[in-house]
């Protein structure tokens, strides 16, 4: 497998965590978002969506991080990242969607660049936008967390794979995490687990 990634891409970060937790051998290929390499013909020939991440497999190239996570879960079952109980599984998926569908899309690089280049928003206003929507999103998911070390139960799930990258970015934009003690506790614990450490942006080969 080959993962097309960028060290600070939240969506690619999710997949790196899952690959590490499952112990799946893979190589990585860097696609620099700041240089718009995701729009290059070389990359869009593999992933026509022109977004990160993409996972190249023997069957072809799969895009969209949640689809990749679900595929990995279904094809590499030795280390499950979803509970076996259907209701608990739905709770984890709901948490993941709250991050990947509600929080992340309005705070990603494309949106922030549009605010700056097309709407002439200055950096202070852009950062305020980011913090507002992350804080609003975190308010919604803080009380969904039922675990002490991980989001749900005593083992990592896809919820943790989605949460940790979003918190990493929140901290980059100076979001005060003390107002979200459950999220903060999970973030701090996960970052003591080797699979999460190895997936962290600062530990990537393309980290600037």
What is the pLDDT at residue 89? 97
Please report the pLDDT score of residue 108 as a whole number: 82
pLDDT at 184: 98
Q: Which is it for strands 2-5 and 54-57: parallel, antiparallel or unpaired?
A: antiparallel
Tell me the two tokens of residue 103.
């929080």
pLDDT at 187: 98
Per-residue pLDDT of the chain (208 residues; tens, 9 = 90+): 999 999 999 999 999 999 999 999 999 999 999 999 999 999 999 999 999 999 999 999 999 999 999 999 999 999 999 999 999 999 999 999 999 999 998 888 888 888 888 888 898 998 899 999 999 999 999 999 999 999 999 999 999 999 999 999 999 999 999 999 999 999 999 999 999 999 999 999 999 7
How far, CA to CA in Å, does 13 sit from each of 47, 86, 165? 18, 26, 6
Rounded to the nearest 10 degrees, what angle do helices 65-75 and 10-22 cross at? Answer: 10
**Domains in the chain, ordered, with CATH?**
2-79 (3.40.30.10), 86-196 (1.20.1050.10)
- pTM of this prediction? 0.94
Per-residue H/E/C for the chain: CEEEECCCCHHHHHHHHHHHHHCCCCEEEECCCCCCHHHCHHHHCCCCCCCCCEEEECCEEEECHHHHHHHHHHHCCCCCCCCCCHHHHHHHHHHHHHHHHHHHHHCCHHHHHHHHHCCCCCHHHHHHHHHHHHHHHHHHHHHHCCCCCCCCCCCCCHHHHHHHHHHHHHHHCCCCHHHCHHHHHHHHHHCCCHHHHHHCHHHCCCCC
- CB contact set of 115 (below 8 Å; sequence gap of 6+): 121, 125, 126, 129
């Amino acid at each position: 497998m080959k993962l097309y990634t960028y060290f600070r891409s939240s969506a690619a970060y999710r997949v790196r965590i899952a690959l590490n937790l499952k112990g799946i051998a893979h190589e990585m290929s860097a696609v620099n978002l700041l240089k718009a390499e995701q729009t290059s013909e070389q990359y869009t020939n593999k992933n026509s969506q022109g977004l990160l991440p993409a996972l190249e497999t023997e069957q072809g190239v799969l895009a969209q991080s949640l689809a990749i996570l679900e595929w990995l879960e279904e094809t590499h079952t030795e280390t499950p990242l979803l509970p076996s109980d259907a209701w608990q599984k739905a709770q984890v998926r709901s948490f993941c969607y709250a991050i990947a569908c509600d929080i992340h899309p309005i705070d990603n690089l494309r949106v922030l660049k549009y605010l700056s280049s097309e709407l002439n928003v200055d950096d202070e206003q852009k950062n305020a936008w980011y913090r507002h929507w992350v804080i609003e999103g975190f308010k919604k998911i803080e009380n969904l967390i039922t675990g002490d070390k991980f989001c749900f139960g005593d083992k990592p799930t896809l919820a943790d794979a989605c949460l940790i990258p979003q918190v990493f970015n929140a901290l980059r934009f100076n979001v005060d995490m003390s107002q979200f003690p459950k999220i903060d506790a999970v973030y701090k614990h996960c970052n003591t687990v080797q699979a999460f450490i190895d997936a962290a942006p600062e530990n990537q080969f393309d980290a600037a």
